[in-house]
Structure 1
């Protein structure tokens, strides 16, 4: 088919003038079509119409199999492959298959190491533009995606869609081996490894394998002694969130001193006052070496050791440690 309209930069041909003009905006950066609600600019009218559905919530395209609705025909086509299992796009390096050309392009950068999208604030690089946009909201605090049922806001459309399934009870992702259903594609992938035995996430210290990255991160704390979950009442640290939640009961169970914000009970007035700073964001304890402030005196003391180099914990052999250098008891080797 003849394509008489040529791009002067690359020589690419188009059937009509509109196609050429649309293409040339990829060179000029021009975005003449603007959203009336958020002023975001687009290179063509169809992308603007698609974007406007983010604000209106309109989803005119319906899956004939599960009646799920989409705001874009391309997203519907991609979704239909969840039902068919079709993965027509193949990586030329590792032969991994994908149900979407965009996911293939994204995956190929794993092999090339390419990160062409860079944050203007911290210069962190990303393999795709959507990850960059999501990251930029960390700096701006923007949460443009709102749940129409509970008005909770999200910084990413994927997180909103996943949240909406809490209200609808929808579980659109099905395991082909046992037909168990999931509300998130990541949970389905994790579950499939139960059948395959695959453990792709490996500990660099002991080579133990795990089915998902969160289990690996949890395990790595056995080696590092890291305790990232801290009690807001007594500053005790825990390696796992579940352990912290169990610990909270020791402070709140039958406590007569009630927090007026969350009605949690505490055994003493000082514990209640310490807890209330979580709500007020008060930080009355100041570091004498720098301008940093803390909610509790123990957190201040912990921080000041970074300035002084003090080692507050002494072993039976006389060796001294900081809290961060202490590992889980079960990880200590016995000689």
Structure 2
């Protein structure tokens, strides 16, 4: 099909001037369609209309199998695959099936090692564009987006929007398996894998699968020996930030986990749970001592 309408910036062709105009906005950043409720801007009217369903609660697309409603037709199609068990997108390397094409593409990058999105400042590569965009803000200290509720500054409008849900308690992303809600779409996507058992992130060293890229990154440190989280007091390194946080309590003597029975403090919740068994066993022993059997003779 002929595409006579060419973009002057990147040369991409389109079949109509209206499509070219929409495409131009990806270069200019123009978002002429604004949500009257939250002020968020969109490049296309149809995307604004879809977004407004977050505020209205409208779910016009209904599953014929279970009656569950969805804000987008694509979400309904994706949901229906859980009824049919269909995984139409198959990896040509290992044969693994996926419900979404985007998940297949992401998975294939672990076979190829491809990182097509590269930071122009430091050269670091990323498998996905959102990862690159999130990384880029680490090179600048500018935080032009301010929260009107608490005054906190953010590097992007998206970060501000996500933060504001702390104040509004809005959770616009709902799981269509268990109705659990989330503040971020990425958290919803990761949660849904607990229902599907999908583990699209595979370790290139040992082949072990993970439901999230962050869990894969943590696992890979087992192979590399990397310990990126270092204690500023003693210099000891850790593979996870949570491990560093727990270790630092050795220096600060902080004991945030307190026993409700005796008031004793602990540096870790697991230590508190172990301690509480002492009270439980004492309670059972006390019950045995105070029990006096009836004299039936």
* TM more than 0.5: yes
Distance 1:69 1:131, change over 3 A: farther
2:54 corresponds, among 21, 38, 61, to: 38
Residue 21 of structure 1: how far off its partner (Å): 5.6
Question: TM (normalized to structure 2)?
Answer: 0.66
Shift of 1:203: 1.1
Match of 2:136 among 93, 105, 108: 108
The residue number in structure 2 matching 1:300 is none
**What is the count of residue pairs matched by the alignment?**
241
Q: C-alpha deviations, 1:103-146, integer Å up to 9, x for none? A: 22221211222334433322323344443333222212222333
In structure 2, the partner of 1:9 is: none
Partner secondary structure for residue 105 of structure 1:
helix
The answer to whether the 8 Å contact 2:6/2:20 transfers is no
Match of 2:167 in 1: 139
Pairs within 5 Å for 1:10-49: 16-20=17-21, 23=25, 26=30, 28-30=32-34, 31=42, 32-33=45-46, 34-35=49-50, 37-39=53-55
For 1:63, the equivalent position in structure 2 comes to 89
Q: Deviations for 1:148-185, whole angstroms, at most 9, x for unmatched residues?
A: 33333322222233333333333322111122222222
Is 1:119 the counterpart of 2:147? The answer is yes
Aligned partners of 2:71 and 2:236: how far apart in 1?
45
1:240 is displaced (CA, Å) by 0.8
Mapped partners of 1:250, 1:62: distance in 2: 54
TM-score, structure 1 as length reference? 0.60
After superposition, the Cα gap between the structure-2 partners of 1:57 and 1:122, relative to the gap in structure 1 and judged at 3 Å, is: farther
Task: Summarize the Cα distance change of 1:119–1:160 in structure 2 as closer, same or farther, 3 Å threshold.
Answer: same
User: 187, 191, 216: which one pairs with 1:159?
Assistant: 187
Structure 1 residues 153 and 252 mapped into 2: Cα distance closer, same or farther (>3 Å)?
farther
State the partner residue of 2:233. Answer: 205
Structure 1 residue 217 displacement after superposition: 1.0
Q: Distance in 2 between matches of 1:228 and 1:235?
A: 11
Return 5+ residue gaps in structure 2 as ranges. Answer: 35-41, 57-69, 82-86, 288-297
The answer to whether the 8 A contact 1:201-1:213 is kept is yes
- The answer to whether the Cα contact below 8 Å between 1:116 and 1:125 also exists between their aligned partners in 2 is yes
Structure 2 counterpart of 1:149: 177
Instruction: Classify the secondary structure of the residue corresponding to 1:37.
Output: helix
Task: Indicate the RMSD between aligned Cα atoms, in angstroms.
Answer: 3.6
**Kept after mapping to 1: 8 A contact 2:210/2:216:** yes
Question: Which deviates the most, 243-252 or 113-122?
Answer: 113-122
Offset at residue 233 of structure 1 (A): 4.0
Aligned-partner Cα distance in 2 for 1:239–1:78: 39
Q: 1:130 to 1:63 in 2, by over 3 A?
A: farther
**How far, CA to CA, are the matches of 2:272 and 2:264 in structure 1?**
9
The structural deviation recorded for 1:89 is: 1.9
Deviations 1:179-226 (A, max 9, x none): 222222212111111111111111111111111111111111111112
Distance in 2 (CA, whole Å) between partners of 1:212 and 1:241 is 17
Q: 2:203·2:216 contact (CA, 8 Å) conserved in 1?
A: yes
Displacement after TM superposition at 1:25 (Å):
8.4
5+ unaligned residues in a row in structure 1: which ranges?
Answer: 7-12, 41-49, 257-264, 266-335
Residue pair 1:109, 1:115 contacting (<8 A) in 2 also: no
- What is the correspondence of 1:215-234 to structure 2 with a 5 Å cutoff? 215-234=243-262
Residue 52 (1) aligns with residue 72 (2): yes
CA distance in 1, matches of 2:269, 2:77: 35
